[in-house]
Amino acid sequence: AQKVTQAQTEISVVEKEDVTLDCVYETRDTTYYLFWYKQPPSGELVFLIRRNSFDEQNEISGRYSWNFQKSTSSFNFTITASQVVDSAVYFCALSDTGTASKLTFGTGTRLQVTL
C-alpha cells in the first residue's frame, strides 16, 4: 500500500528564514512519482514539482529546492529566504503507478511565515 507521511503538522518561521518540509513515503512499486503541491488560503492546489523514482538528482527552482533520497524514502522540500506569500499548506504526494494516474497525499504541513 502507498503511504506518505508528513510528520510536521505546522511550522512557523519568520520571514527570510530557511525552512525544510519533510516527506517520507512507502511504496512497493519500483517505478513511481513524487510530487509537491502548495495550497494557499484561497484553496487551489498549485503544482510545484514532480520527480520520478529513477532520478535522484536534487532540483532547485528559485528559492525552492528538493532533496530526493531513495535510500531513506524521503523527498524533502526546502524554501530559502521564506516570504509571507509562502504561507500555505504544502502537500507531498506519491503516484499509485508508473504514471500520475492517482495520487496518495500526505496530511500536509501548514507553513506560517510572519514578518
Partner 1 sequence: AAGVIQSPRHLIKEKRETATLKCYPIPRHDTVYWYQQGPGQDPQFLISFYEKMQSDKGSIPDRFSAQQFSDYHSELNMSSLELGDSALYFCASSLAGEKLFFGSGTQLSVL
Rule CB under 8 A: which residues touch partner 1? Answer: 35, 37, 42-47, 50, 91, 96, 98-108
How many other CB atoms sit within 10 Å of the CB of residue 78? 16
Q: Is 71 helix (H, G, I), strand (E, B) or coil?
A: helix
Nearest-angstrom CA–CA distance, 111 and 32: 26
DSSP state of 16: T
Query: Closest distance between partner 1 and the C-beta of residue 47, in Å?
Result: 6
β-sheet bridge partners, residue 52: 33
Query: Closest distance between partner 1 and the C-beta of residue 112, in Å?
Result: 15
Query: Closest distance between partner 1 and the C-beta of residue 46, in Å?
Result: 8
- The nearer residue to partner 1, 29 or 98, going by C-beta atoms, is 98
- The nearer residue to partner 1, 12 or 99, going by C-beta atoms, is 99
- The nearer residue to partner 1, 47 or 54, going by C-beta atoms, is 47
Residue pair 104/110 in contact (Cβ under 8 Å)? The answer is: no
